Amino acid sequence: VAVQRVTTPTPSAPTRFVQGMASPAVGPCACMLLGSLLGRRQLRRRFRRLLRPAARVQAEGLAERVHLLALDRLEGWLAELAAKPENSESNNNLKNNNSNNNSNNNDNNNDNNNKNNNDNNNITGAPPELADRIRAAAANLEQGLVERSTEARVMLLAAFCSEHVLLLGPPGTAKSQLARRLGRFVGSEAKFFERLLTRFSVPEELFGPLSLKGLERDEYVRQTAGYLPEASVAFVDEIFKANSAILNSLLSVVNERVFDNGPNRVAVPLRSLVAASNEPPESEELDALYDRLLFRLQLQPVSDEGVADLVALASSQFRGDARADSPGGDCNFPLSLADADEARLGSAGVAVSPEVVQLLRDVRRLLSAMRPPAPISDRRLGQAVRMLQVVAWTNGRAQVELADCVLLRHVLWREAGQREVLRCWLFGRLARTRGPQVAAILDGLLDRVESGSVVPADLRRELAAFRTALESDLRGVQRQQELLRSHCWLAPADAASADHAADALLDDRHAPGPRALLAEVAHLSAALDLDEAGARAGDLVAEYVRLRRGRGELRWSWSAGGPEASEATGGPQAIEDDTFMVGKHKGRHFSEVAGSDEDYCRMVKRKVAEGSFSKDTSLDRQIRAFVAFLGARTR
């Protein structure tokens, strides 16, 4: 939103802050416009939202006209407006007449501006063809490699978000090969830089030699042509072996994208730095650089299942064909720098769902409570959110979903032992439902059923409410599973793994999951239907509850005439569910032991069959009764 003829006369602190950030082409008028509309909180969030709605800006007399513009048109519009002379008389007249016209203007402007705001807020994601090109680009990067689908996608995402990636792994795991292939992303539009560091490396290897002519002028200036300060994508191998002189210069290049070349601070075009190391950093002085590398990938040698593919691939390739891995070697790469720029601009307004915000809160607590702790810095958290916005937009959505957060498993871990914990935790959040709460409430309902304090009508109504809540949760999880299957940044194996983990949690009877609870509700509803249709009202539901809780045996069977006792139908006689009075299971019901201790059941049946426990003692009588109970259950 931009305004014409701002009436606020005095530059505020936000205005002065904008003046320090604005492009020289925008000018002071644009700084006044932005500074008058935005409060300090919004400025710190990089102009993501307005302090006031567009209708109130005009209604409160802050501006004569309000314009809704796309971000790519805003700078040019403000520059054009800055070139026009200010009309102070119009401002004074506007201020005097505004009180008389506010009531009339509010009705008209609210309708128009609300319509415009709705149109502007209906942010749409990228077209589907971009997601298809992302998949094609990932396939291009991983072509000829075995079990490197995840790494190819994450490295491409890092370049797309203008972030950096760290590759950790033993030698021979295709770290440098992947980094060189990422140079295809910049193609012929920019430069690719590569260097291997050792403990004896000097800054000249990364930033260029000193200028002899500069030294003649007493200036400490480097010749950066062909070196890191002029590269768009760079690969630095064994980065943690660099000395402090290299590390200090790398910090500003990686984070602020600037390089101090003598007395001048020069902007660098670096899109993404791929750093590699055989081991994680061990010194605290490397923490600053380690935190600036957003993505962290642990590369492992090819698994036993992939050895056959590796052998077949090695036998079909020629060592002399190195062009396939050269930077920019593929002139038909499906993506370009323009696509990345469009994604960053388009994703600026992507919303973050409340579920994702809560997930970020919880994962910070989780990692801080680990031993050793892995606190998430504010910088890393902000970078992760911006990455998730790009991910959502490129998948054609205007909101970050839980399925996108699966990628955080490559971002938030610090120690190698935390990777698997974080992965399982994120997968579990995909299937997080109200199952535990529903299970607790359902358990209370079963208490009322068993005690006979609930009437069938109330029971049916409460079961319907349970079913509605559980089905709603189940639909939400299934939607996240659908997003996983169509996600352009997730490798098929990763998406399938998260999908299967969510399925397992949905079916879990111990957590319990919504599917297990839905089955429980269905059983109770069926028992209630049979109960109301039969002659013994209330008996079947209560019997089912006792059976479910291990305090009884099913004594009813269903026939065309309704529920009848087993004795009446000629079926097997029911054996009473007695209680152990002696032995290791003292105090437990027969049914409880039968369902939880299979080894004990097999042992006592074998002993009784061999003639043991034939005496007339309490223990022997109890064991024989328990074996008879097991036989009745089997029949």
Q: What is the 3-state secondary structure (H, E, C) of 96-150?
A: HHHHHHHHHHHHHHHHHHHHHHHHHHCCCCCCHHHHHHHHHHHHHHHCCCCCCHH
- The pLDDT of residue 235 is 94
Read off the pLDDT of residues 369-426 as tens digits, 9 standing for 90 and up.
988 888 999 999 999 999 999 999 999 999 999 999 999 999 999 988 899 999 999 9
Asked if residue 177 lies in contact with residue 374, where contact means CB atoms within 8 angstroms, the answer is no
| Predicted pLDDT at 313 | 85
Instruction: Compare 8 and 450 and report the one with higher pLDDT.
Output: 450
Read off the tokens for 280: 């994680």
If you average pLDDT over residues 243-269, what whole number do you get? 90
User: Taking 60 as the threshold, does the pLDDT of residue 75 lie above it?
Assistant: no
> Across all residues in the chain, what is the average pLDDT?
77
Sign of CA dihedral 32, 34, 38, 39: negative
CA separation, residue 617 to residues 150, 251, 505, 582, 620 (Å)? 66, 81, 47, 11, 5
Mean pLDDT of 179-183: 89
pLDDT at 139: 93
264 φ, ψ to 5°?
-105, 145
pLDDT over 70 at 594, yes or no = yes
The pLDDT score that the predictor gives to residue 328 is 54
Asked if residue 600 lies in contact with residue 585, where contact means CB atoms within 8 angstroms, the answer is: yes
- pLDDT score of 77: 47
Looking at the predicted structure, is the pLDDT value of residue 320 above 90?
no
8 Å CB contact between 61 and 98: yes
Q: pLDDT tens across 611-635, in order?
A: 888 787 778 888 888 888 887 665 5
| Mean pLDDT value of segment 78-90 | 47
Of residues 630 and 9, the one with the higher pLDDT is 630
What is the model's pLDDT at position 168? 95
Res. 70: pLDDT tops 90 = no
DSSP secondary structure code for residue 489 in this structure: S
- Asked if 207 and 252 count as a contact pair (C-beta separation under 8 A), the reply is no
The DSSP annotation for 409-449 comes to: GGTS--STTHHHHHHHHHHHHHT--SHHHHHHHHHHHHHHH
More confident residue, 388 or 64: 388
3-state DSSP assignment of residue 256: coil
Report helix, strand or coil for 279.
coil
Rounded Cα–Cα distance for residues 556 and 299 (Å): 59
pLDDT at 504: 84
Burial of 564 (0-12, 13-18, 19+ CB in 10 A): middle
Between residues 273 and 513, the one the model is more confident about: 273
pLDDT at 424: 92
At 115 the pLDDT is 43
Strand, helix or coil for residue 168: strand
pLDDT over 70 (residue 26): no
> What is the pLDDT at residue 557?
42
Closest CA to 491 of 123, 104, 66, 156: 156
pLDDT, tens digit, for every residue of 196-225?
A: 999 999 999 999 999 988 888 888 899 999
